[in-house]
Amino acid sequence: MTIREYISKKKPIHIIGIGGVSMSALAELLLSLGVPVTGSDKSHSKVAERLERLGAKITYAHLAENVENTSLVVRTAAVHDDNPEIIRAREKNIPVMERAEAWGNLMTDYKNVVCISGTHGKTTTTSMMTLIAMQANADPTVMVGSHLPAINGTLRIGGKGCFVAESCEYCNSFLNFSPTIAVILNIEADHLDFFKDLDDIIHSFHMFALRTPEKNGVVIVNGDDKNAMKAVEKVDRKIITFGLNKNCDVYAENITSKNGYYSFDIIINGEKYTNVTLSVPGKHNMLNALAAVAAAYELKMPSEKVAEGLEKFTGSSRRFQKIGKLKCGAVVVDDYAHHPSEMRATLETARLMNFNRIICAFQPHTYTRTKALFNEFVDALKMCDKAILAPIYAAREQNTIGIYSSDIAKEVPNAIAFDTFEQIEDYLRENAKDGDLIITMGAGNINSIGYSLVEKDC
């Protein structure tokens, strides 16, 4: 059975890790359809509490008895077969479905499904596409990987005409999705705890492009990215390229920048489509906008609504998000960047913004990524005036490699590594000055430092 059959019969569905971004969105969608939902998680959160108010029954522990009265169990790749709930489900012959498979099956109910993929920029581009579709009155259903103020969360339940979905390559999750329009923003080496190498990653994106329908499927790809272009070789679909060179189908022209914020004309098939002024800084966001515009154009959304939607997008959570300003005058922002290319894009943007010093408190994310991209991390951190390293965020890993943040600090001039967030916070409070930009950077919990700095400074 597919998840749609469980939904139609209103059979109870249990979600392991219900507080996660994608899982909580799935739970909310199921609840909106009248499906009884139970779930489990390791800890309380505002997200889980909201789901409880909507009707979900949540246990804050992974226990075998949690699945006793369910018909289907949904899990993520992070939940392994030794989880007691999975073991019990198998004993009782209760079907176990991967999260991505569930989402992919749900997508088939929608006329247009825009799946946005890439090593970097997925959340931002998905958010941009959401604002465009809302402005164009397309009533989109949306699944995005970070809190988006415009929809007050990570899920928007809309009509059946348009589904906009952030699509992650890790563990090949996006190969379960059902895009009518597949967007490939860029491809770099990442998630090497799962993929063999860069060629393996490119192959995965190639298969993602082939998930679009044979008759009318569309693939939108970054024409400036050689790996992305390699991924769409021999893909027998309509291919639309975007980029900053005039060989692309969709490109930017007459580009101007003011304090890091870009304005530009968008040219499609040789003709001016619209003019855009972005409300988020950085050259990388110009490329993200071009990708969103290409998808909107394919969906025949009015050009003036596209421009208005992009202008209304002021950012999503943890993407160069301003946390506050300290009494000394230093500005504190937070950014999710955890791959060297993302870090460089963020720091290049910061360099355009007329601060005296850029201080970056960086938390590396996973031991395998830190080892695989060690030299690239070193080069990226050399772009700031002062690099402060927090301990590596383990996520799903154990440090069997024997690598530490202090190893990076030794290679970056003037860098320093601390063992605790408290030490980092104390250092920043003592050393921050007027004209400084303090960036907390990483995909872990480094953002808590910025909030603590601002709150205690009030």
Report the domain count for the chain: 3
Q: Which of 38, 70, 119, 123 is catalytic?
A: 123
285 shares a domain with 150: yes
CA separation for the pair 165, 167 (Å, rounded): 6
pLDDT of residue 432: 93
Smallest Cα–Cα separation from 450: which of 350, 331, 300, 338? 331
CA separation for the pair 264, 144 (Å, rounded): 26
351 shares a domain with 298: no
pLDDT mean over 65-80: 92
198 shares a domain with 129: yes
114 shares a domain with 217: yes
Q: How confident is the model at residue 107 (pLDDT cuts 50, 70, 90)?
A: very high
Domain end, chosen from 43, 75, 101, is at 101
355 shares a domain with 234: no
Smallest Cα–Cα separation from 343: which of 358, 322, 362, 371? 362
pLDDT of residue 345: 86
Tell me which residue range forms the domain holding 447.
321-457
Domain end, chosen from 76, 101, 126, is at 101
350 shares a domain with 273: no
Question: Residue 356: how many CB atoms within 10 A of its CB?
Answer: 12
Which tens digits make up the pLDDT trace of 386-434?
A: 999 999 999 878 999 999 999 999 999 999 999 999 999 999 999 999 9
CA separation for the pair 189, 192 (Å, rounded): 7
Our answer to whether residue 166 is catalytic in this structure is yes
H or E segment to which residue 387 belongs: strand 386-389
Q: Which of 85, 122, 274, 346 is catalytic?
A: 122
360 shares a domain with 295: no
174 shares a domain with 87: no
Domain end, chosen from 84, 101, 118, is at 101
Q: What is the CATH number of the domain that holds 445?
A: 3.90.190.20
Percent of the chain with pLDDT over 70: 100
265, two tokens: 């004309």
164 shares a domain with 59: no
Q: What is the CATH number of the domain that holds 67?
A: 3.40.50.720
CA separation for the pair 150, 13 (Å, rounded): 29
Q: Which of 70, 85, 154, 166 is catalytic?
A: 166
Coil, helix or strand at residue 390: coil
Q: What is the CATH number of the domain that holds 168?
A: 3.40.1190.10
Whether pTM > 0.85 for this model: the answer is no
Instruction: Supply angle C-alpha 99, 100, 103, rounded to 5.
Output: 90
Our answer to whether residue 123 is catalytic in this structure is yes
242 shares a domain with 157: yes
408 shares a domain with 361: yes
426 shares a domain with 292: no
CA separation for the pair 48, 28 (Å, rounded): 10
Question: Residue 422: how many CB atoms within 10 A of its CB?
Answer: 11
